[in-house]
């Protein structure tokens, strides 16, 4: 046996949910460009779960289910209020999602129908959890979700307590579409490994959130914003980036394990960043980002990935940077749960082998002789 570090290039599962072929990302065979330009996030979630785009009646039914399940138990809100000051937002989300299982009477019901309902419940509740955490840590009471509005609208409304602008809702909705699924990424693989033991869907999503928390996965967009804040202004971009590249410092938000010719999602987020900058009357973040891209791509040949421009998009939406990765989770839970449902349908325990490289033929030495 020979180990493949990071399982790079290893095909570990057959899936009909999403694909990355020759640099083209599709959900259920539909190009991400087509979905980003035309579909709502709710349509995309339905597509991932059911394998087809919904008709009007099916979309209305899904909206009603999302409305019904969006409220989270008071006990979970009370738990969030007990989290220590400075709690990491992804740690808070991981803990809250795990606890949601305690208040779901179907948590251990492994029927296909119950698991499908739990997928919708998780999709409905994650935005409420993230918004509640964001407000509670500021000493504010959570805002209850509205009915009959999109997930993007509801999240911005619950976060601020104010009706969001149409352009802000559209921008967030498109960002959710772009992040919804991405083949067998680290967090999705973690979810599938967990439920392959026939553990429950809440355990699978909790595992996925733990994987997404890392800066080499979901945390990259937050790291991009940290970099932009450190640079400070457009005039400092060139010296900062040149110095970082000269010292072999990794520039977050560039390059991708799978995409060799650029992430197809990045251009949509770049456009959103530009439009939101115009709306706010402040193009600083966008202009800095474009200059960074020019320098990094020009010198290293690396192109921006989905994380790079999402940092300025979320910041221009007035969202604190430590909520970037939880928003990623709000979107990706649609893909996680689709993969979990697929794993249940044709399950086999995921149990790879390791290439042992330690010592051999070692004899036990009694403790008195050590």
Residues marked active site are found at 256, 307
Residue 25 pairs in a beta bridge with 20
Angle at Cα 75 formed by Cα 74 and Cα 79, nearest 5°? 115
Question: DSSP label at 254?
Answer: B
Helices and strands in the chain, H and E counts:
16, 3
Contact assessment for residue 369 and residue 82, using Cβ atoms and an 8 Å cutoff: no
CA-CA distance, 170 to 224, in Å (whole number)?
A: 22
Contact assessment for residue 178 and residue 172, using Cβ atoms and an 8 Å cutoff: no
CA-CA distance, 251 to 229, in Å (whole number)?
A: 14
Residue 27 pairs in a beta bridge with 18, 30
CA-CA distance, 197 to 351, in Å (whole number)?
A: 10
Helices (H), 137-283: 151-160, 166-179, 186-195, 201-212, 220-231, 237-246, 266-280
By CB atoms closer than 10 A (0-12, 13-18, 19+), residue 239 is: exposed
Listing DSSP states for 104-136 in one string gives -TTTT--SHHHHHHHHHHHHHHHHHHHHHHHHH
- The alpha carbon torsion through 100, 101, 106, 112 (nearest 10 deg) reads 100
């Amino acid at each position: 046996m020979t180990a493949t570090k990071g399982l790079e290039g290893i095909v570990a599962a057959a899936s009909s949910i999403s694909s990355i072929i020759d640099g083209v990302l599709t959900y259920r065979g539909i190009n991400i460009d087509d979905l980003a330009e035309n579909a709502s996030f709710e349509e995309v979630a339905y597509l991932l779960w059911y394998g087809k785009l919904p008709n009007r009646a099916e979309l209305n039914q899904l909206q009603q289910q999302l409305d019904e399940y969006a409220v989270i138990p008071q006990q979970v809100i009370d738990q969030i209020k007990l989290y220590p000051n400075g709690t990491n937002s992804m740690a808070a989300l991981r803990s809250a999602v795990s606890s949601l299982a305690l208040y779901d009477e179907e948590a251990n019901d492994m029927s296909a129908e119950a698991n499908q309902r739990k997928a919708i419940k998780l999709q409905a509740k994650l935005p409420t959890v993230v918004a509640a955490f964001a407000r509670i840590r500021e000493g504010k009471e959570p805002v209850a979700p509205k009915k009959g509005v999109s997930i993007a609208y509801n999240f911005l409304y619950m976060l601020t307590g104010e009706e969001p602008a149409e352009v802000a809702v559209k921008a967030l909705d498109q960002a959710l579409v772009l992040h919804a699924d991405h083949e067998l990424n680290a967090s999705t693989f973690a979810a599938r490994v967990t439920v392959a033991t026939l553990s429950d869907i809440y355990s699978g999503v909790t595992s996925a959130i733990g994987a997404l928390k890392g800066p080499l996965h979901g945390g990259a967009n937050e790291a991009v914003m940290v970099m932009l804040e450190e640079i400070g202004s457009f005039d400092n971009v060139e010296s900062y980036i040149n110095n970082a590249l000269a010292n072999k410092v990794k520039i977050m938000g560039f390059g991708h394990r799978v995409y060799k010719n650029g992430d197809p999602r990045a251009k949509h987020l770049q456009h959103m960043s530009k439009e939101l900058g115009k709306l706010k009357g402040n193009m600083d973040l966008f202009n800095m980002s474009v200059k960074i891209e020019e320098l990094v791509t020009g010198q290293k040949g690396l192109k921006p990935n989905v994380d790079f421009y999402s940092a300025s998009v979320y910041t221009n939406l007035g969202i604190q940077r430590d909520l970037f990765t939880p928003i990623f989770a709000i979107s990706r839970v649609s893909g996680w749960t689709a993969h979990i449902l697929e794993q249940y349908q044709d399950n086999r325990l995921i149990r790879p082998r390791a290439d042992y490289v330690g010592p051999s033929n070692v004899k036990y030495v009694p403790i008195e002789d050590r």
